Amino acid sequence: MANNQHHPLTNLEVGKAAIVCQILTGIHGKALTNRLKSLGLVSGKKVKILRKLWWGKTLHVKVGATTTIALRDEEAKLIIVKPTSGQ
């Protein structure tokens, strides 16, 4: 994946970091967007994929320096990130 392009969070590999660029409004509307923002997923925030659980399509994500959350695949697809060169 090229580092200068924006991708859904689901495209990020385990152990890789990225910067949140945008959160799209999905079928759940602003309620989900607001919930993600309340968890710290805002533009400019660094995120890192800690694990991907294939059977439930769940991502374990570190947000910033101290927060870790689990996201369903359908939620993670709404988070647009730009991969960083460092981990």
Give every strand in the sheet of 79-83, ordered side by side.
7-8, 79-83, 17-23, 46-53, 58-63, 67-72
Residue 18 lies in a domain: yes
Query: For the domain that residue 43 is a member of, what is the CATH number?
Result: 2.30.30.90
Residue 2 lies in a domain: no
Range of the domain at 61: 7-83
The residue with greater pLDDT, 2 or 19, is 19
pLDDT tens for residues 18-60?
A: 999 999 987 878 888 899 999 999 999 999 999 998 776 899 9
Residue 1 lies in a domain: no
- Short-list 76, 44, 82, 42, CA closest to 61: 76
Q: What is the pLDDT of residue 4?
A: 65
Parallel, antiparallel, or unpaired: how do β-strands 79-83 and 7-8 relate?
antiparallel
Q: What is the pLDDT of residue 87?
A: 58
